[in-house]
A and B are shown apart, each in its own frame.
Chain A
């Protein structure tokens, strides 16, 4: 029986991808554990400053982190638990990590999805308009808009949303937008300067057609790469927005875990973010693969 070469190739690529994801994931978890463990303030509990506690209780508080003293041993034990679906227990929040993540993950996914949708729609649309019309006034205004959003601190942006009673999640979109816009504008502009585009313009094709058929496809792989990166940007932006707007997602959880040096939570969150980053970027690469050519 003959195996379709395309299918065989795809299967090989998929298996390589799976191995790559697994290796990077394991490495990511371990590095996160090492970073957190070595950081000052690890194993310290602010409850130690409670003047009611006697010496034995203070010592007990310090011993509570004994299982995490050795990052390597902790990580191996964590991986063992992971095989049984046990993600460990958060020492700072006194709850199973699995429960915390399952409660908060949908919240962050909603925020990230909304943020990306808004950021990309607005960013790409404005970039296309800027490139299509090539008017200095349009370029100036869009530059000022993007600059404004880049320069506003996340805290001020979050508070602005609360003041205007707009959903805090949208603030993510305002953080993603200027980055998408900036890259997309430059990429599209570069593609718009290619010879075949100039030829198409000279032949009288309208701007929209040129953009849709000749500019976008050429910038496709880079835009897809940007899409992959923007997911990481959105997740990173979710942290301050969730903290400031009190949205109970994993961004807020990550911040609390970071302040408390909660090893179990941080390793899990890092691995989730790594997995999402890998999968999204792999998908972006795969989607962009047939288009790695500058031919019109």
Chain B
């Protein structure tokens, strides 16, 4: 009898603990972190800034999701999908019994509606533009209660990955974009202060135990631009994570709270420099000749000590960059390539081939012009300012005088996209997409983002023509190996010709409170909360 009573008491205690855990996990827990500014838009189809992207990720329901950890596509609202052999269409089978946050049922009409809205050319949606593979309309055809086919005018390589950014909107709800299918909905928007997202009561996902996800009840996004203050707040426990941490803050935090910091390894981002090769730019002819010379660019590249940049500026949390694709992009990166060596002697030889010579320690071109040029970069980014200063010293070793000019971003963009009144530019490339097809406008010579010489009517050089051909080949091919070959070759050409001098790939670093569970920081963004539904807070998390 005593044994039975003892057993009953233990079961009761266990039940109480489990219920307490469930209660704690389901009621009252709040995740807090900072975003740099108010979202510019809450329309998921028009997202083009980080803050809006964060809100979309947390509230939007997508047909399929790129698992940031495995880098593979996974079904979400679509239970399955199929890309046609010619790559011109994709069909989806969608889930049943799913409702928007306001209770409106989700149906195949909503998928058709969303895609029609997205592909409206007058919307100029950045997400929608990624789908525009050619001239002609993008059409949708509903095949049944749960199946739809989307047809494109031309094949789109890697089309399924693009749907990771397409949040479904309701065709029928009166709340418009406020009715969502994601784990959270926007409950409060206090402009300039914070956004409060609350759990979607109609969220369709459940865990293996049948508990409705997400575990965390609400997410508060505080508007905080100052990174020092953000770090302070994390240390004080006022926020739970910093999704993207700079090298300097990583070291500071690691010294104080080593368990809070994570370095997931090299990210997709690159810091790079390029020379202005626009023929119509207001530069003197002799400088245009310098920048157009492959030998000159290669020489500059090999005069830059990338190891020092990674070690000194990024405190070892970066590595010399090789190509426009980072090693973190495991499939597409051309692993046969290595970073350009730091070899000032070889650099001087290359310059000598073009007729450059040293006189009283200063480099001159074959016409006697002193080799002096400026590099512009955006003010306020201390890492870029430091890199530019280090490159200034590196180039001084070979007799080149580099002037570092920091400009506010608007002035800088005007110079590199409109007036072309600049000589060299140092900027970073933030890459959120694994598929190289996303960089078509950068590599096609006719592209607006072919930044060293944009919007060319015909390719200015043979190697740019070759890159055009290769990029079009990979864009129109469904054979992934053929695409890989083409992209590898583009990387080789870029390595040889150096229109971009790739400097470093930064590491993907983040910081997380020890109170947060199920955290597995990754390289792709969002680095920490990519598995937001699985995150739990407190001691009563699902794995305690």
Contact = CB atoms under 8 A, between A and B. Distances in A.
Touching chains A and B, CB distance < 8 Å: yes
B410 A51 contact: no
Nearest to B46: A94
Contacts of A244: 226, 229
B20 interface: no
Contacts of A60: 124
B441 A252 contact: no
A199 interface: no
A17 interface: no
Interface in A28-65: 40-42, 44-58, 60-61
B209 interface: no
Interface stretch (B144-152, B413-421, B467-475, B522-530): B413-421
Interface residues of A, number: 41
Given A58-B448, A159-B229, A52 B413 contact: no
Given A44-B413, A93-B38, A162-B232, A51 B442 contact: yes
A259 B448 contact: no
B534 interface: no
Given A51-B449, A248-B193, A46 B229 contact: no
A12 B122 CA distance: 56
B410 A44 contact: yes
Given A44-B418, A48-B417, A57-B124, A246 B229 contact: yes
A261 B192 contact: no
Interface string A47-91: 111111111111011000000000000000000000000000000
A260 interface: yes
B430 to A, nearest CB: 10
A55 B411 contact: no
B318 to A, nearest CB: 22
B191 interface: yes
Contacts of B48: 47, 50
B129 A52 contact: yes
B531 interface: no
B266 to A, nearest CB: 20
Contacts of B411: 40-41
Contacts of B41: 94
Contacts of B125: 57
Contacts of A248: 191-193, 223
Given A58-B448, A61-B124, A53 B441 contact: yes
A259 B38 contact: no
A61 B124 CA distance: 9
Contact of B413 (A49, A53, A252): A49
B192 A52 contact: no
Contact of B192 (A92, A252, A260): A252
Contacts of B354: none
B408 A54 contact: no
A57 B409 contact: no
Nearest to A255: B225
Contacts of A53: 124, 126, 129, 441, 448
B448 A48 contact: yes
Interface string A261-278: 100000000000000000
Interface in B160-201: 191-193
Given A246-B223, A246-B224, A260-B410, A57 B126 contact: yes
Interface string B19-49: 0000000000000000001101100000011
Contacts of A48: 413, 417, 448
A52 B130 CA distance: 5
A7 interface: no
A56 B229 contact: no
Contact of B409 (A104, A245, A259): A259
The 10 closest A-B pairs by CB, nearest first: A248-B192, A41-B410, A57-B124, A41-B411, A52-B130, A52-B126, A60-B124, A54-B129, A44-B413, A41-B414
27 contacts: A40-B414, A40-B415, A41-B408, A42-B410, A44-B417, A47-B49, A48-B417, A50-B126, A51-B442, A52-B126, A53-B441, A56-B121, A57-B124, A58-B448, A60-B124, A92-B40, A93-B38, A93-B40, A103-B192, A104-B192, A158-B226, A163-B232, A243-B225, A244-B226, A244-B229, A246-B224, A256-B37
Interface of B: 37-38, 40-41, 48-49, 121, 124-127, 129-130, 132, 191-193, 223-226, 228-229, 232, 408-415, 417-419, 438-442, 447-449, 455
Given A44-B417, A103-B191, A246-B223, 5 more contacts: A40-B415, A44-B414, A53-B441, A53-B448, A244-B226
